[in-house]
Chain A
Amino acid sequence: MKRGLVLLIFVILAGGLLLIPALLDFGVPAFSDMDDYFLKNGQEQTAANNIVTAVVFDYRGFDTLGESVVLFTAVVGVGLMFRHMLKEEEYEDE
């Protein structure tokens, strides 16, 4: 009974989520104000021809900073794990 109710709610929510893109025409974005802003002012403000890079490294630099820190943390994690596993073997780091 409870399981069926959960399933029903899930189906309704998933259907509603899929209904929104189904109502739009193909290739027509729901909101395009931000895209138009970047395309109109990006070259003038950042002097970069590649708008994608301008967004990634200038308008949303904090996002890229987080991405770099995630990569750094991943490398530190791999290093910690394998340092422990390779302890008996040659250890050229120190």
Chain B
Amino acid sequence: MRMSKLVRTGADLLYPFALIFGLYIILHGHLTPGGGFQGGAVVATGAAIVIVAWAYEDVAGMIRKVTMKAQESAGLLLFIGTAALALGLGYAFFTNVLANSGSLFGLSVPFGPNPGELNTAGVIPIMNIAVGIEVWGGLTVILLYLLSGLKKEEGS
């Protein structure tokens, strides 16, 4: 069942902001509170608003189950691949090989409170992105399945 036009327009307006806020939480996981799980949940909440305000059939063409399932699997594979990166370089599984190395995400931070720099923390941002992608896809698939009973016409 579709909600009123007011709610639908509000959901359309809120969706990009929920997307941006969730991606911000994912990308800044090593600097601010939050991280992959929380940011992915925020992005999935944006999808939930749109699905509830419209109907499942309106949304199914844009937020596709196939894409979300592929995204979830890709996130988990990227997470395990990042952890296995240390194995290929001769370290133990899950070693933070990129931290303090000077390359990608490799800057050091001083001890104590400091303003923070996005290009730090080694593999932690990559794992945050991987987990964020996975939670985004997984929760959206669950929402699409659970809310697929919301038909366009009432009682059909």
> Which residues does A use to contact B, with CB under 8 Å?
43-50, 52-54, 56-58, 61-62, 64-65, 67-69, 71-72, 74-75, 78-79, 82, 86, 92-93
Q: Which one, B100, B109, B141, contacts A75 given CB within 8 A?
A: B141
Interface size band for B: 35 or more
**Smallest distance from the beta carbon of B99 to chain A beta carbons, Å?**
5
Contacts of B13 in A (CB 8 A): none
In this assembly, does B80 line the interface, its C-beta being within 8 Å of a C-beta of chain A? Answer: yes
Other contacts beyond A48-B30, A48-B121, A56-B35: 19, CB < 8 A: A43-B111, A44-B108, A45-B96, A46-B96, A46-B124, A47-B109, A48-B31, A49-B121, A52-B33, A57-B124, A64-B79, A65-B94, A72-B72, A74-B138, A75-B72, A75-B138, A75-B141, A92-B60, A92-B64
Contacts of A68 in B (CB 8 A): 75-76, 79, 131, 134
Contacts of A65 in B (CB 8 A): 79-80, 83, 94
Contacts of A43 in B (CB 8 A): 109-112
Interface centre among A47, A49, A50, A62 (most CB of B within 10 A): A47
**Smallest distance from the beta carbon of B108 to chain A beta carbons, Å?**
5
Residue of A nearest to B65 (CB): A93
**Smallest distance from the beta carbon of A87 to chain B beta carbons, Å?**
13
A49 touching B31, Cβ below 8 Å: yes
In this assembly, does B145 line the interface, its C-beta being within 8 Å of a C-beta of chain A? Answer: yes
Q: Tell me, in angstroms, the Cα distance from A45 to B69 when the chains sit together.
A: 35
Q: Which one, A47, A50, A57, A78, contacts B127 given CB within 8 A?
A: A57
Q: Tell me, in angstroms, the Cα distance from A84 to B19 when the chains sit together.
A: 31
Q: Which one, B30, B32, B72, B134, contacts A54 given CB within 8 A?
A: B30
* Those of B64-100 within 8 Å (CB) of chain A: 64-66, 69, 72-73, 75-76, 79-80, 83, 94, 96, 99-100
Q: Which one, B100, B122, B123, B141, contacts A79 given CB within 8 A?
A: B141
B83 touching A47, Cβ below 8 Å: no
* Those of B99-128 within 8 Å (CB) of chain A: 99-100, 106-112, 114, 116, 120-124, 127-128
Contacts of B123 in A (CB 8 A): 57-58
> Which residues does B use to contact A, with CB under 8 Å?
29-33, 35, 37, 60, 64-66, 69, 72-73, 75-76, 79-80, 83, 94, 96, 99-100, 106-112, 114, 116, 120-124, 127-128, 131, 134-135, 138, 141-142, 145-146, 148
